[in-house]
Structure 1
């Protein structure tokens, strides 16, 4: 219980620091004003060139805050990119917004209007007024969770990520999702969750849908499912949101100890190429051209030392000079390359040239002096 109280306190504190705006926009499709909540990343104003993924949160009157708090928390610790979170308040309109035809089970009447409001009005509004990236995730709970999946059937699909919290599926949705996710070509992240104490009819449909989706064999689709022990229809929301974020943004996170042991230390090819590929995927998927983290440089360096892949140090050193030019990271890596490939004089001079640069972790001026002096003693320079 203390853990959940602490987590709630942390998320509330993070959310309070972030910039939350309340806006009202007029919808021609709906013929009325709609209220939205927008949480901007902490450094939105200072990073004037940066663009951000978007979370579109239905049931924003109660679902916005837990999503916004988790997004701020995880992005603060660099476990996901900073993102813009947009909540659509539906307290008075929820049933009408999600309305679907009782013969073909697709949005119709007020539901069709709300469908077009999001795709043709809200997203263009956000693109015009905020610095948005192309990666958009939709979040819904029970009735609105069913609704977000209709956007999968557009060509191309409107969203790249779908977070389904105890979805109350329309008839035929399981079969339609299975067919669509089996054939879709664009990269898609699909998360679904229920709990052992969820509403019985919803839980049964979700379990059935999971069995169907588990059979989907499509490299473009990343499918995740959780069945939380002891979770009710409402309590599962607090457990599913952080889990969905962790799953969807797993490639974004810094290289972990597990990845180091299981992937880097068993790699057959270039460790440098592993690092480049990781950040190429981040840019391709999320539209983000991120500076490579020092943590990831250090993980690659540790693997180079362990596996004695000394040639990787040359390219890694040049890359570190480009990404972190004010630090001694690049000089140290190049010094190690020269030292291990038979060019001690170059190594000594490279270590010496690092004296005027910023220290990084255990890479200190004392270490550079120690490495330089050792080469002098060995070779009499």
Structure 2
């Protein structure tokens, strides 16, 4: 083959390859929100559900997950949530994920000012920048959530997710401001903080209110860390166990605690977040094969699910399209008619 022809051929292939490489897969977008409360710009990462911009369906609204430590958790969490929301096997509805990137993590996620002295130098106070949790939750409630609700199509259902100090912040938000979110996820929370101040607050909350608020959910994961064998950071384990005992003894909260053998503090949030989403949205999944036998089961399931969640949920248009395709493909004519009527009722065509 002529050498010049080879060069031209390779150049053409390279151009074609580079052209194809320019097609990018994106998982989100960055936004900057200036916080008057914190007096700083905050970088926020937004992940939209796969159907968010689907022109074939009516514009839908979606629950929102507020994810702390966004720079660590955002990439895997968005894939995880999309995976378990895929039809026809969806265990959860599609959700908007809002990853919140840190600036001063210790300041924002701790509820009280640290007085703990360094064991090496008693003149040094550990975590000196701590105690800004109330300001940070004010930023979330009064600035970030309104921004998200204004700029994106959101359903009135939100979840707060945190790990370590983020888990501490999540539990303190639940105790001090339970109405701010519908569900709370705390992965290996640092409940040892400030002589277990969160344990004290839990007891005080129950002494005052007798029981936890209705329709709220709390999921707590706990890492192994070989703490019991090596006594490494045993304060973490003991505090989480104390919290678990108090909550389970009261029995009024929709609560789940999972201990993950073999998972350490730095890895437990991944399986914890998966189990948390399945726990929070338990009852969401419907059996498409059973719907062929009893079409009315779908509306009944969603009615019961909405009652449990304290917020109305209805079958999404995208899921109804999947159901209709299944019914048509299997020649289930009566169920097909039923679901077409349901789709037209829930999502009427705009003339």
The TM-score, its normalising length taken from structure 1, stands at: 0.64
- Alignment correspondent of 2:92: 80
Cα gap change, 1:17/1:243 in structure 2, threshold over 3 Å: closer, same or farther? Answer: farther
| Greater relative contact order (Cα < 8 A, sep 6+) | 2
Matching residue within 280, 283, 295 for 2:303: 280
**Does residue 191 of structure 1 match 2:219?**
yes
- Alignment correspondent of 1:208: 242
Matching residue within 65, 70, 75 for 1:55: 65
**Does residue 289 of structure 1 match 2:321?**
no
Contact kept, 8 Å, 1:19 with 1:42, in 2: the verdict is no
Matching residue within 155, 160, 173 for 2:198: 173
**Does residue 147 of structure 1 match 2:166?**
no
Matching residue within 107, 125, 149 for 1:96: 107
Please, which moves more after superposition, 161-170 or 45-54? 45-54
Structure 2 distance, partners of 1:18, 1:30, is 30
Instruction: Map 1:17-166; keep pairs closer than 5 Å.
Output: 17=25, 19-46=27-54, 47=57, 49-77=59-87, 78-90=90-102, 92-102=103-113, 110-154=132-176, 157-166=179-188
Unaligned runs of 5+ in 1: 1-15, 265-270, 298-313, 326-381
The offset of 1:67, in angstroms, is 1.9
Query: What are the superposed Cα offsets for residues 42-75 of structure 1, whole Å, 9 maximum, x if unpaired?
Result: 1211255211111111111102222222111111
The offset of 1:152, in angstroms, is 2.0
Cα gap change, 1:185/1:201 in structure 2, threshold over 3 Å: closer, same or farther? Answer: closer
Contact kept, 8 Å, 1:135 with 1:287, in 2: the verdict is no
Structure 1 distance, partners of 2:185, 2:174, is 12
Query: What are the superposed Cα offsets for residues 310-355 of structure 1, whole Å, 9 maximum, x if unpaired?
Result: xxxx9x7874452368xxxxxxxxxxxxxxxxxxxxxxxxxxxxxx
Contact kept, 8 Å, 1:191 with 1:224, in 2: the verdict is yes
Structure 2 distance, partners of 1:234, 1:102, is 24
Please, which moves more after superposition, 194-203 or 229-238? 194-203
The offset of 1:231, in angstroms, is 1.1
Query: What are the superposed Cα offsets for residues 292-323 of structure 1, whole Å, 9 maximum, x if unpaired?
Result: 769989xxxxxxxxxxxxxxxx9x78744523
The offset of 1:186, in angstroms, is 3.3
Question: Which secondary structure state, in structure 2, belongs to the residue aligned with residue 215 of structure 1?
Answer: helix
- Alignment correspondent of 1:339: none
- Alignment correspondent of 2:256: 224
Structure 2 distance, partners of 1:155, 1:115, is 9
| Superposition CA RMSD, Å | 3.4
Please, which moves more after superposition, 167-176 or 227-236? 167-176
Question: Which secondary structure state, in structure 1, belongs to the residue aligned with residue 249 of structure 2?
Answer: coil
The TM-score, its normalising length taken from structure 2, stands at: 0.69
Contact kept, 8 Å, 1:182 with 1:217, in 2: the verdict is no
Query: What are the superposed Cα offsets for residues 238-258 of structure 1, whole Å, 9 maximum, x if unpaired?
Result: 21111111111111112399x
Contact kept, 8 Å, 2:286 with 2:301, in 1: the verdict is no
Structure 2 distance, partners of 1:288, 1:250, is 13
